[in-house]
Amino acid sequence: MRIAGRKDPLVKFEWQEEAVKRRAENCTLSPSRIGAPVIAFFHPSGHIVPSDGPP
């Protein structure tokens, strides 16, 4: 899971968004013992994990 804040002052959102795009285009399948996909969660805040974020 990637959680990215659109107003993150430490890790610019544009960098995070680009990393997600690159992953999607050049996807590498990594084994998962529970079979979970990679999920990107973008939120409007800064460098935090929001309380309404996924568990």
The full set of domain ranges for the chain reads: 2-43
Q: Which of 41, 49, 45 is nearest to 7 (CA)?
A: 45
pLDDT tens string 1-54: 778 888 999 989 888 888 777 665 545 555 667 877 666 788 889 999 888 877
Token couple for 44: 């409007």
**Euclidean distance between CA atoms 4 and 6, whole angstroms:** 6
Q: What pLDDT sits at residue 53?
A: 77
DSSP 31: -
Read off the pTM.
0.57
